[in-house]
């Protein structure tokens, strides 16, 4: 009789399966299914004073809310957990109670360390998710108490901030003069020709390009496996193919076809792995800092995502309707696209004031109305 070794449980595979189930059916249905199957879940709740901050973190990283996140969102939340934990332990010691770690005073100090309003808003969004999950598990009212603090809004002037056409022209020129000029300018044109998010662009592979239909196949936000089609402009497609030919033509002759198709287009190791997001973030930051057309006080507003905003804004300007633009951007809801209308409307108001008819007689009319108003007041 053959001897078989007990294999350790494949927890990562189990977590992936749980994530899919939770994404499809939701937490409530999942829990009902567990109970109907006779599987009991320990719902006993320790008292407030017994719950440590570490208990809360351990639960959050295994709870349905976290498991249902996409891989990229999990990485973001893990980074936020690490940042929050480092701050908490530095201020409260190695094993603080949850009630100590969730005071408004401490969390306000943590949030206030960030100077960028959008970074603060992202941290608040994470904290809302974190304390919401913890409150449900331990039957607490933490979120109710913290809602006023964590209800930070994004600064309107920082939302959907796209580059001006002059700024884009300068950045493209600067990118071509950089050490990796061919790659960097191709990255920018690919952003501008597709409206892709950073993570979507990073994971583009040679086999994802369909020239005949002007399509690139990408892994969208919130999905880790299924690729979906997105359109690309002829200009961006031509430049992208030129870069692929320049960088990988000799590999096409030596590698099996399937291996060649799986090479990442933007890579530092001949296509085996994609560039890191930090590489592109640093590249964009460097170009923004060099660009003289971008005022110093605005430089912190821009990131790789600003190219996506530019794609949307100038798409609206050129006459693309909001529903078509939503499909081009890969938005799941039209509501996500409508926010660009607000910024576009602001641009239209600014543009209309540049019209000569808006300026020529304005001062004269204003003076006339002012005089008329004073005359009526005297009466």
Tens-digit pLDDT profile for residues 103-139: 888 888 888 888 777 778 888 888 888 988 888 888 7
- Percent of the chain having pLDDT more than 90? 40
Among 162, 198, 159, smallest CA distance to 312 is for 162
For residues 72 and 254, the model is more confident at 254
CATH architecture under which domain 165-332 falls: Orthogonal Bundle (1.10)
Predicted TM-score of the model (pTM): 0.61
Q: 228 - beta bridge partners?
A: 218
Mean pLDDT of 164-181: 93
Q: Parallel, antiparallel, or unpaired for β 209-210 and 228-231? A: unpaired
What is the DSSP code (8-state) at residue 229? Answer: E
Mean pLDDT of 87-97: 89
- What gap in Å lies between CA 66 and CA 60, rounded to an integer? 7
Model confidence band, residue 251 (pLDDT cutoffs 50, 70, 90): very high
């Amino acid at each position: 009789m053959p001897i078989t070794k007990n294999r350790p449980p494949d927890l990562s595979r189990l977590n992936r399966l749980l994530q899919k189930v939770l994404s499809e059916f939701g937490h409530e249905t999942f829990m009902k299914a567990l109970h109907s199957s006779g599987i009991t879940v320990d719902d006993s709740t320790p008292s407030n004073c017994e719950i440590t901050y570490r208990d809360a973190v351990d639960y959050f990283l295994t709870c349905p809310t976290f498991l249902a996140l996409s891989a990229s969102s999990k990485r973001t939340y893990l980074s936020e957990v690490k940042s929050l934990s480092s701050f908490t332990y530095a201020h409260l010691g190695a094993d603080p109670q949850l009630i100590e770690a969730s005071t408004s005073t401490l969390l306000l100090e943590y949030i206030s360390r960030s100077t960028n309003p959008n970074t603060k808003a992202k941290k608040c969004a994470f904290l809302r998710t974190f304390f919401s999950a913890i409150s449900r598990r331990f039957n607490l009212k933490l979120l109710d108490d913290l809602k006023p603090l964590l209800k930070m809004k994004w600064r309107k002037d920082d939302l959907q901030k796209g580059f001006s056409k002059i700024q884009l022209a300068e950045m493209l020129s600067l990118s071509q003069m950089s050490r990796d000029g061919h790659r960097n300018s191709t990255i920018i044109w690919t952003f501008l020709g597709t409206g892709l998010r950073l993570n979507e662009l990073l994971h583009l592979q040679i086999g994802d390009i369909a020239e005949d239909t002007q399509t690139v196949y990408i892994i969208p936000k919130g999905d880790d496996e299924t690729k979906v089609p997105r359109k690309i402009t002829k200009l961006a497609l031509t430049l992208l193919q030129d870069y692929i030919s320049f960088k990988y033509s000799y590999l096409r002759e030596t590698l099996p076809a399937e291996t060649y198709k799986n090479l990442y287009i933007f890579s530092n190791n001949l296509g085996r792995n994609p560039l890191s997001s930090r590489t592109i973030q640093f590249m964009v930051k460097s170009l923004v800092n060099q660009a003289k057309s971008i005022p110093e006080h605005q430089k912190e507003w821009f990131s790789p995502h600003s190219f996506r905003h530019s794609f949307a804004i100038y798409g609206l300007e050129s006459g693309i309707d909001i529903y078509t633009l939503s499909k081009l951007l890969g938005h799941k809801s039209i509501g996500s696209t409508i926010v660009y209308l607000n910024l576009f409307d602001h641009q239209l108001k600014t543009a209309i004031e540049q019209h000569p008819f808006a300026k020529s007689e304005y001062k004269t009319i204003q003076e006339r109305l002012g005089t008329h108003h004073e005359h009526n007041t005297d009466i």
